[in-house]
Structure 1
Amino acid sequence: MPVYRDDAHKTWYYVVNFYDASGKRKQKRKRGFNTKKEATEALRKLEVQFNEGTYVESKNISFNQYIEDWLSIKKRSLSNSTISLYERSIKNHISPSLGNTLLSKMKPQHIQKFLIGMHEAGLADASIKRIFNIVNVCLNDAVNFGDLPSNPAKKVEKPKVLPKEMKIWTVDQIQRFLKCSNYHRMYCIFHLAIMTGLRKGEILGLLWKNVDLEKQVLYVNQTLETDGKTFKTGAKTKSGVRSVTISPSTKEVLLKHKEQQNAEREYFASEYGDLDLVICAENGAPYHPRNLTRTFNILTKKAELPHIRFHDLRHTHAALMIAQNEPMKLIAERLGHSKITTTMDTYGHLFPNMQRDASNRLDQTIFGELD
């Protein structure tokens, strides 16, 4: 399968001969690669499709068939929760609107009409953007595989999502919630969320072997997915695999929680499914994220506090760190952000107060002794 240089345009292209399903000999060529390496890699991907029997000429395939074939390959690198999200989006939104369009005939107008339809159906901006991104990535891959000359979605204005107002609790509200939930079996979850900033899946996937109570450090290296059954090694991002120090009070909460868990293990005996989870159901099974959300909402209402999401406890933790003037790098590391800019972009609106305090301290430093 040779790769050639197009001297006239100073680019590279490949030519490949193959036989279709009917045994008819055909030829496929793809031009416009900037380097020989790019053309060779694209050709190798095509060769894999030929060998696996998954190649279908783009001019004869509907977008519905193409995106389903694309997802079947993509699944190898996606989490179960992401696969479920993609499948729902394709079934409920993408296929009904774009499914019957031939891939080779896909135009920007089709994408634009698709976006308008979702807006008219009342979908949230965030949902529209997420669904659009699935289509966009699929079409990008179609270009990379040589099935499309260009991505029509790139010629359409991408959906925008206005940032939601961040809801956090004050110190008084935190204290009221912790006091109200102190009796609850799952108190440890709420304490960990507020005191460490861990995500829901990170807390529900935490193992005792990754908690060093003596050194007061816990290690995040697996998460429980939204299905409440599957554990994913690693974290949401590469930097999400991290160590997080815990306070003396958190250590005591964990010790008390472990005593309670040991009693449950003894009670259930052989029926106890010991997965070494810090947070689990009474019989040792994973604690379902939906149950956590339900419990958190009930306790929030009981404490007569403003409604916030469980995830907002993570934001509350970050806000408390900022209020204490902790170094931004430290905050980013605790939250598992790969870049400090991510932390700054997320919590930048909390910085004006810090700047005012800094200005006041500078005023005191320079002019304080002149009073």
Structure 2
Amino acid sequence: MANIRKRSLPSGLIRWEVAYMDGGGQRRAKLFGTKGAAQAWLVEAQHDIKRGLHTAASVSPTVKEAAALWIKRCQEKELERSTVRSYEEHVDLHLVPLIGLKKLADLTMPGVSEFADRLREVGRSPEMVRRVVRSLGAIFREARRRGLAATDPTAGLDLNLSTREDPRVVIPAKAELQAIIATAAGRWRPLILTAIFCGLRGSELRGLRWSDVGFNSAQIHVNQRADAFHKIGRLKSRAAYRSIPCNPMVLNALREWKLVCPKGDQDLVFPTGAGKVESHSNIVQRGFEPVQIAAGVVEIRDGVPVAKYGLHTLRHACASLWIEQGHNPKQIQNLMGHSTIQMVFDTYGHLFADLAADQKAAEEIMVRLLEK
């Protein structure tokens, strides 16, 4: 049985105590400043207890404590070091300073919305707010797995963030891609061609092995990647394991490169001069950026011409070329190695527009408006 009674604390303050049995048969108590607040909380708590969704505040960990359990779980799952490090930054720089001492049981959906508002107020970008709240949701889900939380208040939460940013990805123009292809030479030419025409991620290019290049089948098989710490490992998701068709230009460039490619025990296609895993920064700073500058694909910053694009834009360029050739969203998902088709629509949805049909519709609207 649950009951509410008035209590006088040693400090002289008057509080209303709710005494109740939790879902595990344990006697619990919680204090409130008013009888009305105690009654309202008890009604909601009894409803949650019946559904098995109640966690007593006395056994609920703080956000900081639950975050430590989540990070430990991420490490046990052998997530990439760079991924775990970014999660740790979310915890140390954003979650702990603002809500680290709050108990999970005391965080509601309005409370998470208030936390997101505070993040914006202290200068966090909309994208960073989204990422931090996603991490908070992962903390709640891990706590639920351990029986330390009943619900996830981030589930279904509308953060109401700004939508004024242009959602379209940056894609080099065809003329720019042609200039880059014509300029690329030496060790960087096969890498850049593979990026443009096969759409591999930078980590997948760095982890590509010669045994994964099918010269006879004209395919590249993506089976591993190199992380930010130069460690070869598994791909980002199951969907990332895939086979990609190669055109003759890519295959010929790879054949020529294989004759002079530095040898190493990892059989890498694009290694360092010593045959080890090449760093992403070297590929960009010593390879892709100088090629762009030589090709005239630049923008002016402080009066100085600098490379216009990052390496990942070549992946977007590849997707746009496949879409232009008539590949449907499901095919793009498979070729790009996206885990869901929603990622394809979110990233490239605007490229699937039927421009001819749109133009015809615009002309028909004009005719109908002007006809007598």
Which bracket does the TM-score occupy, shorter chain normalised? 0.7 to 0.9
Contact 1:205–1:222 (CA under 8 A) maintained in structure 2: yes
Cα shift readout 1:164-194 (whole Å, capped 9, x = no counterpart):
33221232211111222224x2222211010
Q: Name the counterpart of 1:347.
A: 348
Q: What is residue 121 of structure 1 aligned with on the other side?
A: 122
Partner of 1:311: 312
1:327-358, Cα deviation, whole Å (9 max, x unpaired): 54433322123555543443221233554499
User: Is the aligned partner of 1:292 residue 2:298?
Assistant: no
Q: Indicate how the Cα distance of structure 1 residues 134 and 215 shifts in structure 2: closer, same or farther if over 3 A, else same.
A: same
Give the corresponding residue for 1:88.
89
Q: In the TM superposition, what is the alpha-carbon distance from 1:153 to its structure 2 partner?
A: 3.6
Take 1:159 and 1:69, find their aligned partners in 2: how far apart are those partners? 29
Residues 157 and 323 of structure 1: CA distance in aligned 2, closer, same or farther (over 3 Å): closer
Give the structure 2 partner of residue 238 of structure 1: 238
The CA distance in 2 between the partners of 1:354 and 1:315, in whole Å, is 19
Tell me, in whole angstroms, the C-alpha distance in 1 between the residues paired with 2:335 and 2:150.
44
Q: Tell me the alpha carbon deviations over residues 60-81 of structure 1, each in whole angstroms, 9 at most, x when there is no partner.
A: x432122112221232222222
Identity among equivalent positions (%) equals 23
Q: Which residue of 2 aligns with 1:166?
A: 169
Q: How many aligned positions are there?
A: 306
Alignment-derived partner of residue 213 in structure 2: 211
Structure 2 partner of 1:196? 198
Provide the C-alpha distance between the structure 2 equivalents of 1:180 and 1:358, rounded to a whole number of angstroms: 36
Alignment of 1:1-371 (within 5 A): 15=24, 31-33=49-51, 58-59=59-60, 61-77=61-77, 78-108=79-109, 110-154=111-155, 157-158=158-159, 160=161, 162=163, 164-183=167-186, 185-227=187-229, 229-233=230-234, 235-261=235-261, 264-265=262-263, 273-295=264-286, 296-306=288-298, 307-340=308-341, 342-353=343-354, 355-356=356-357
Question: TM (normalized to structure 1)?
Answer: 0.72
Q: Deviations over 1:11-68 (max 9, x none)?
A: xx96389xxxxxxxxxxxx94457xxxx9xxxxxxxxxxxxxxxx9634x43212211
Equivalent residue, structure 2, for 1:364: none
Match of 1:52 in 2: none
Larger helix proportion of the pair? 1
Compared with structure 1, are the counterparts of its residues 212 and 152 closer, same or farther at alpha carbon in structure 2 (3 Å cutoff)? closer
- The Cα of 1:250 is off from its aligned counterpart by 0.8
Q: Call closer, same or farther: CA 1:347–1:149 in 2, change over 3 Å.
A: closer
| Mapped partners of 2:335, 2:87: distance in 1 | 30
- 1:136–1:293: structure 2 CA closer, same or farther, 3 Å change rule? same
Q: Structure 1 residues 279 and 159, CA, compared in 2 at 3 Å: closer, same or farther?
A: farther
SS at match of 1:15: coil
**Cα deviation, residue 116, structure 1:** 2.4
Please say if residues 220 and 244 of structure 2, whose CA atoms lie closer than 8 Å, have aligned partners that are also in contact. yes
How far residue 147 of structure 1 moved from its aligned partner, in angstroms, is: 2.1
Native 8 Å contact 2:168 2:347 kept in 1: no
Contact 1:323 1:354 in 2 (8 A): no
Cα gap change, 1:357 to 1:161, in 2 (>3 Å): closer
**One-letter identity of the residue aligned with 1:210:** D
Inter-CA distance 260–292: structure 2 relative to 1 (3 Å threshold) = same
Using the size of structure 2 for normalisation, the TM-score is 0.72
Contact 1:58 1:147 in 2 (8 A): yes
Change (3 A) 1:249 1:85: same
Question: 1:141, CA displacement in angstroms?
Answer: 3.2
Distance 1:65 1:357, change over 3 A: closer
Runs of at least 5 residues in structure 1 that lack an aligned partner in the other structure:
1-12, 18-29, 40-55, 266-272, 361-371
Cα offset for 1:157? 3.2
Q: Deviations over 1:245-280 (max 9, x none)?
A: 11111111111111121xx44xxxxxxx42111111
Give distance in 1, aligned partners of 2:63 and 2:203. 34
Instruction: Tell me how far apart the structure 1 counterparts of residues 121 and 168 of structure 2 sit (CA, whole Å).
Output: 24
- Is contact 2:23–2:50 with CA below 8 Å preserved after alignment? no
Q: What is the alpha-carbon distance in structure 2 between the residues aligned to residue 196 and residue 297 of structure 1?
A: 20
Alpha-carbon distance in structure 2 between the residues aligned to 1:327 and 1:103: 44
The separation in 2 between residues aligned to 1:258 and 1:353, in whole angstroms, is 41
In the alignment, structure 2 segments of 5+ residues that lack a partner are 1-21, 27-47, 299-307, 362-372
- Secondary structure of 1:275's counterpart equals coil
Q: Cα distance 1:189–1:124, how it changes in 2: closer, same or farther (>3 A)?
A: farther
Q: Which amino acid aligns with 1:190?
A: I
